């Protein structure tokens, strides 16, 4: 029996790799002779680099870059496919988690470090880039990233703009003569699972600015600054990103990657499944097991990793089981999964569940596998 084990991270308790290992342990307890294909997954958010490096025997690179306030931070990215593909999480260089609450100010935070990661990976030979852009501390429309790539963002007197989204209100022109790489030769896929445009009432500043410390007054100023950035990008680069769905992700970094690196905004989970060659791994499989910390109606609606795995399994005609710490909306989930299993089956606190996440997940996998085997025996007797 050939089984593909492809879980997402169980947020707050297990990485995708640890979850896959626990499920494999549980499956072996019930089916020791099964052939297991262990494939930790991600959906473009936290853990994407680690999951993809682990699943493809890639390598990590660490680079000291300029953090969101200019202080140096050590940021990791991944190289896979013999270094032809780079996997980058912007949050490692410009994420909200890098700043204490009293230091968060989207008027001055920068994506410069993200550009340094992109450039470093390009110089290492990567020509395909998978960029996860969740968890940002920035609202600069990717301006800092562009400056790290060699673009010059100039004010009316020809001076380089300082870091931060607010400075963009003084942007007069974009000079491309110093760009360090030919991004037309690269394929840049950007994991964007939101549809917010760059500016306006549903734009980056209005929707996400307050999470990063913006007051209502700051939101108005930042939105106007991003509007100016979009106008100059349209004029000088010939790309219209202002109302592009997804351009407002990560404080406008989604739009910036489109404009400055030729990026394509794509659903994160599907992009990762493609890079992991999931359909190839499914060939000849008899069962797929996936999961994450919680499975509910949002699993499918927001394009999470287990939903993508389930859809690919369904398309291949392979039954799929979902395992989660907690389950809700099981009727709706039943449209995606052939079986569901919760790891927590006895009363207890959340803290206890998190502390015991690995053994609970392994035992749930054993229970699920025994049910599958019982069903197979039942069919063979019919």
Q: What is the pLDDT of residue 378?
A: 55
251-288 pLDDT, tens digit each: 999 999 999 999 999 998 998 999 899 999 999 999 99
The beta-strand segments (E) located in 52-169 are 59-66, 72-80, 85-89, 128-132, 152-154
Angle between helices 268-275 and 48-56 (to 10 degrees): 20
Low-confidence spans in the chain with pLDDT less than 50 = 380-382
Structure token pair of residue 142: 């990717």
Question: b/e per residue, 17-53, with b = 16+ CB within 10 A?
Answer: bbbbbbbbbbbbebbeebebbbbbbbbbbbbbbbbbb
170-180 pLDDT, tens digit each: 999 999 999 99
> What distance in Å separates the CA atoms of residue 233 and residue 4, rounded to the nearest whole number?
45
Residues in CB range of 251: below 8 A, 6 or more apart: 106, 109, 111, 136, 137, 138, 139, 140, 141, 165, 204, 205, 208, 209, 212
Q: What is the pLDDT of residue 356?
A: 92
157-171 pLDDT, tens digit each: 999 999 999 999 999
DSSP reduced 3-state for 302: coil
DSSP reduced 3-state for 99: coil
DSSP secondary structure letter of residue 14: B
User: Are the C-beta atoms of 132 and 161 separated by less than 8 Å?
Assistant: no
From the list 328, 237, 303, the residue with the least C-alpha distance to 8 is 303
193 burial class (0-12, 13-18, 19+ CB within 10 angstroms)?
Answer: buried
User: Are the C-beta atoms of 110 and 138 separated by less than 8 Å?
Assistant: yes
From the list 90, 84, 18, the residue with the least C-alpha distance to 51 is 18
Structure token pair of residue 145: 């990233």
Q: What is the pLDDT of residue 381?
A: 41
DSSP secondary structure letter of residue 160: B
């Amino acid at each position: 029996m050939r089984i593909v084990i492809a879980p997402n991270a169980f947020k707050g308790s297990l990485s995708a790799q640890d979850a896959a290992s626990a499920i494999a342990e549980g499956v072996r307890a019930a089916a020791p002779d099964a052939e297991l294909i262990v494939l930790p997954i991600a959906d473009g958010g936290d853990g994407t680099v680690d999951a993809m490096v682990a699943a493809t025997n890639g390598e990590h690179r660490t680079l000291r870059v300029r953090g969101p306030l200019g202080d140096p931070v050590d940021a990791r990215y991944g190289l896979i496919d013999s270094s032809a593909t780079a996997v980058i999480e912007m949050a490692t260089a410009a994420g909200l988690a890098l700043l204490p609450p009293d230091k968060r100010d989207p008027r001055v935070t920068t994506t410069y470090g993200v550009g340094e990661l992109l450039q470093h990976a390009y110089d290492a030979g990567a020509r395909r880039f998978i960029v996860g852009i969740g968890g940002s501390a920035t609202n600069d429309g990717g301006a800092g990233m562009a400056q790290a790539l060699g673009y010059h963002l100039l004010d009316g007197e020809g001076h380089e703009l300082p870091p931060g989204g607010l400075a963009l209100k003084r942007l007069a022109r974009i000079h491309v003569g110093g760009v360090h790489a030919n991004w037309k030769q690269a394929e840049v896929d950007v994991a964007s699972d939101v549809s917010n445009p760059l500016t306006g009432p549903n734009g980056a500043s209005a929707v996400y600015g307050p999470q990063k410390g913006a007051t209502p007054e700051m939101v108005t100023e930042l939105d106007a600054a991003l509007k100016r950035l979009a106008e100059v990008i349209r004029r000088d680069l010939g790309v219209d990103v202002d109302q592009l769905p997804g351009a407002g992700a990560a404080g406008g970094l989604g739009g910036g990657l489109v404009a400055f690196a030729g990026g394509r905004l794509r659903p994160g989970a599907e992009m990762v499944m493609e890079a992991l060659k999931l359909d190839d791994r499914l060939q000849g499989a008899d069962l797929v097991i996936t999961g994450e910390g919680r499975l509910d109606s949002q699993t499918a609606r927001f394009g999470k990793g287990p939903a993508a795995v389930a859809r690919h399994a369904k398309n291949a005609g392979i039954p799929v089981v979902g395992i989660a710490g907690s389950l809700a909306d099981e009727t709706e989930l039943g449209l995606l999964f052939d079986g569901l299993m919760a790891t927590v089956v006895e009363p207890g606190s959340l803290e206890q569940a998190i502390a015991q996440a690995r053994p609970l997940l392994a035992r749930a996998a054993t229970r699920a596998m025994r049910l599958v085997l019982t069903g197979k025996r039942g069919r063979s007797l019919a």
